[in-house]
Chains A and B, each alone.
Chain A
Amino acid sequence: MNPEFQRNLWLELTPRRLILMTALLALAFLAAGLATNRDTAVLVPVAATAEWLYYAIVVVWGTRNAALAVVGEIRDRTWDMQLLSSIEPLAMTWAKLFGSTIYNWFGGALCLVVLLGETAVHQDVATALIDLVYYIAVGVIAQAAAFLASLIAVRRRQSHSRLDTFLYQAAGLAAGLAVYSVWQAADPANFHIAHPADTDTVLWWGAKLDARGFLLVSLALFAAWILTGCYRQMRLELQMQNGTLVWLGFLLFIGLYVSGFDAWLTDNGAMARLGAVSLRLGLAATTYAALTYVMVFLEPKDRVHYRWLGSQIAASRLGAAWNGLEAWMMAYLAAALCAVLLLVWLPGFEARVTDQPALIAAALGFVTRDVSIFVFMRTLPGRRRGDLAALGVLFALYVLAPAIANGLGLTAILTIFYPQDATPLWIAPLIAWAEGLAAATFAISRIALVKPAVS
């Protein structure tokens, strides 16, 4: 057996804890059964209790344990010993993820027996099996997301407060909530996600697909990507190097996945005049830009690593430099590529749309400015708070300053804060790129010129 998993079994599944969980759940089910009106089926409220207990034990409590799987080891100073073991990253990943939550899964399994038993009795076994897949998926995805968030944070810093741990848990809870919402929406009785005209189907890349099946496959794919992310972060923790191929593969996947939903935008007034190709490129570019922001916030933005990247490029070791690119850099390049393709496509094939190219060029300039602000703030003294400071600057640029400008009636200057129509058209991209290049120059010169002192 995987030694790390076995260690978790030793710690988590002691006879006393197993008896305690079983007894408490049995009491909860008994109480739910006794509280039921004698005229209704007893199993229904018991199953409802089991469902909410499942979410509480596996999703809420489980995400906390998953978030603590590595952070707790660091806090207890046992992580170095594990780093120095010969356990491979894949084995360490699954042993940590499922070992730290094995007690939650034990409690969850007891809940599922009751919950799915009721489904099998009152509906059918097939429905119970589909529900089983969903319940396992929501637990795994939520816990894996919390685990991934904690691993990303471990790369950024070594100390983790209770609030930090809660934030990692919150990432898992958000993922769990997303899965729950999507699953509820896929129910034919609901119509949130499915195309309004045809409630049990989804339009994707022009194809009409069964909503529940599409979402099941989507859940499986996203769960696989989250687990892949955990594995790759664990590799980094264990001092192994990751190439760029997997992240590029994810970018390709997410770009194709999101751009398939272009049909959703055809009802949008501003977007309705664009063709499918433009919409799909726009969706991909927007997704990559969003990923750029997420990753530039999450990644360490280590000045030493950036200096190393610069030295590799200067020495023409481009392969090493390419493998050393951070995820946000590749997402940025993907966003830029899609934006450039749009800029080429629109004038050639959708010449009637005259304002969009300027806005797209301006948007890319502002993305450049914003990521440069993140990098720059991280190089300042007190850099641990750099990301929050960068968020503060962006809040000022996108919310506070425009609000003041609007209040003073200076709407003409909004183009210096975010993409905005302007006359002549080239003004907006010119301003955006001037800001972007200035911010990038500040950030790069700060990295290149401020050398570390010899201790």
Chain B
Amino acid sequence: MIDVADLVYEYPTARALNGVSLHVLPQTITALVGPNGAGKTTLRRCLAALDAPYAGHVLIDGLDTATRPREIHARLGYLPDFYGLYDELSVRRCLTYAARAHGIPDALANAAAEKAAGQVGLSDRLETPAGQLSRGLRQRLAIGQTIVHAPRVLLLDEPAAGLDPQARRDLSTLLLALKDAGMTLVVSSHILAELEDYCSEMIIIEAGRIVGGKAVKVRDVERPRYIIEIATARTDLREFLAARAGLDVVEADGHHALFTFTRNAGARAKLIRDLVAAGFEVSTFGESTKALEETYFAQVGQS
């Protein structure tokens, strides 16, 4: 869905992207992360056909940003970190305008606006001026404007900023639903824990380059990561786990192991039984919730 080849972007005094190549599969949610000043914003703007690169190509849904930017814009939803709203317009008019500006016919725009309002939980505030919304509700409205035309690709920067815990959970559910509906999402955030909930791939950018040269698969819904800890160290823990069918060890030492395994409850129960039967004093067994964070810190600074 997104193909980037040898992308170079230069500011007059600095090269922000230095030969970036990447491939984002359709219907995935990819985290775009990296240290401050790594080139994330520049890359996002190039992906959104908002800035023209010095060299290289960006293809969105098969369209080249250099030659067909407006067609790409029509297929894209983009929520920047800093954005504005038309404070004097009502939520309905903000969403209707966004829908019509993205080519939705007049007759369908109101329905699209109401649907988007429902998706972001603003159905009961359709007639409220945007300027009277709280920060969290403004964030929801901004996301609503971004998805109102059902884009093929969604680029979100810090989408959970300003949202309360319930709204963050709702956002995760919404993003997963959008992915299931066929969208391809690229999400940036400095809070990696936020991304854990819904991102399956991760692109780490550092000093204008993709760390490792490609997107890293960090989460597989069918084969999540599990962590196991044992009370008494055993040197054969890795060997024991590696011998199980369908289990892949990511890392292990005498006390703990991180591995991918099927989500099937029966298979997990059998694995625990086998461990206990083999004399391992299992003190912890659970799904790892820090896959992104672990991968990120394992990779950043290594290149």
Is B a genuine binding partner of A?
A: yes
Which of A11, A86, A307, A454 is the most central at the interface, judged by chain B CB atoms within 10 Å of its CB?
A86
**Contact of B80 with A7 in the complex, beta carbons under 8 Å:** no
Q: How far is the CA of A455 from the CA of B82 in the complex (A)?
A: 22
Interface flags for A53-93 (1: CB within 8 Å of B; 0: not) read: 00000000000000000000100111011111111100000
**A3 is an interface residue with CB less than 8 A from chain B:** yes
Give chain A residues whose Cβ lies under 8 Å from the Cβ of B101. Answer: 3-4, 81-82, 85-87
**B52-86 interface with A by 8 A CB criterion:** 52, 54, 65, 69-70, 73-74, 76-78, 80, 82-86
Partner of A80 from the list B13, B78, B88, B97 (CB cut-off 8 Å) is B78
A10→B93 contact, CB < 8 A: yes
- The stretch among B14-22, B111-119, B164-172 that forms the contact with chain A is B14-22
Contact of B15 with A239 in the complex, beta carbons under 8 Å = no
**Least Cβ distance of A341 to chain B in Å?**
37
Q: Which of A74-133 contact B (CB under 8 A)?
A: 76-78, 80-88
B301 within 8 A of A: no
Beyond A88-B70, A452-B10, A455-B15, is A77–B82 a contact (Cβ under 8 Å)? yes
CA distance A3 to B95 in the complex (A): 12
Task: Output the nearest chain B residue to A453 by Cβ-Cβ distance.
Answer: B14
B107 smallest CB distance to A (angstroms): 13
Q: How many residues of A contact B (CB 8 A)?
A: 35
Please state if B83 and A77 are interface contacts (CB–CB under 8 Å): yes
- In the complex, B290 has a CB within 8 A of chain A: no
Cβ contact within 8 Å between B11 and A304: yes
Query: Does B275 interact with chain A (Cβ within 8 Å)?
Result: no
> A455 to B70, alpha carbons, bound, how many Å?
30
Q: Check A239 against B50 for contact (C-beta < 8 Å).
A: yes
Is residue B207 contacting chain A, with contact meaning CB distance below 8 A? Answer: yes
User: Is residue B208 contacting chain A, with contact meaning CB distance below 8 A?
Assistant: yes
Cβ-based interface call for B256 (8 A): no
Inter-chain CA distance A239–B102, complex, in Å, is 16
Segment 3-49 of B: residues with Cβ below 8 Å from A = 10-16, 18, 37-39, 48-49
Interface: B227 (CB within 8 A): no
State whether the Cβ of B103 lies closer than 8 Å to any Cβ in chain A: yes
- B residues 176-199 near A (Cβ < 8 Å) are none
- Kindly state whether residue B260 has any CB partner on chain A within 8 Å: no
Given contacts A87-B101, A454-B207, contact A78 B84 (CB under 8 A): yes
Check if B73 sits within 8 Å of A454, measured CB to CB: no
A455 to B76, CA, bound (A): 28
B139 at interface, CB cutoff 8 A: no
**CA distance in complex: A431, B296 (Å):** 62
Q: Is the CB–CB distance between A78 and B80 below 8 Å? A: no
A212 and B123 CA atoms in complex are apart in Å by 60
Given contact pairs A83-B50, A86-B73, A239-B52, A7 touches B97 in the complex (Cβ within 8 A)? yes
Does A22 count as interface, using CB distance less than 8 angstroms?
Answer: no
Contact residue among A81, A87, A379 (Cβ-Cβ distance under 8 Å from B83): A81
Contact of A7 among B69, B78, B89 (CB under 8 A): B89
B234 at the interface (CB under 8 A from A): no
Contacting residue for B15 out of A85, A303, A453, CB 8 A: A453
| Known pairs A80-B50, A302-B12, A455-B208; A11 contacts B89 (CB<8 A) | yes
Cα A77 to Cα B84 with chains together (Å): 5
Q: Does B100 contact A (CB under 8 A)?
A: yes
Q: Which residue from chain A places its CB closest to the CB of B37 in the assembled complex? A: A455
Are A84 and B50 in contact, CB atoms less than 8 angstroms apart?
yes
Closest Cβ neighbor of A75 among chain B residues: B84
B109 to chain A, nearest CB (A): 8
A and B contact pairs by CB, cutoff 8 A, 15 listed: A7-B89, A76-B84, A77-B84, A78-B84, A81-B101, A81-B145, A84-B73, A84-B78, A86-B74, A238-B70, A239-B69, A453-B13, A454-B207, A455-B37, A455-B207
Q: Which residues of A contact B (CB under 8 A)?
A: 1, 3-4, 6-7, 10-11, 73, 76-78, 80-88, 238-240, 302-304, 307-308, 379, 381, 383, 452-455
| Extra pairs beyond A4-B101, A452-B13 (5, CB < 8 Å) | A84-B77, A87-B101, A238-B70, A307-B10, A452-B12
The 10 A-B pairs with the shortest beta carbon distances in the complex, nearest first, are A77-B84, A3-B100, A85-B101, A86-B74, A239-B69, A76-B84, A78-B84, A86-B103, A303-B12, A304-B10
Q: Chain B interface (Cβ within 8 Å of chain A)?
A: 10-16, 18, 37-39, 48-52, 54, 65, 69-70, 73-74, 76-78, 80, 82-86, 88-89, 93, 97-98, 100-103, 106, 145, 207-208
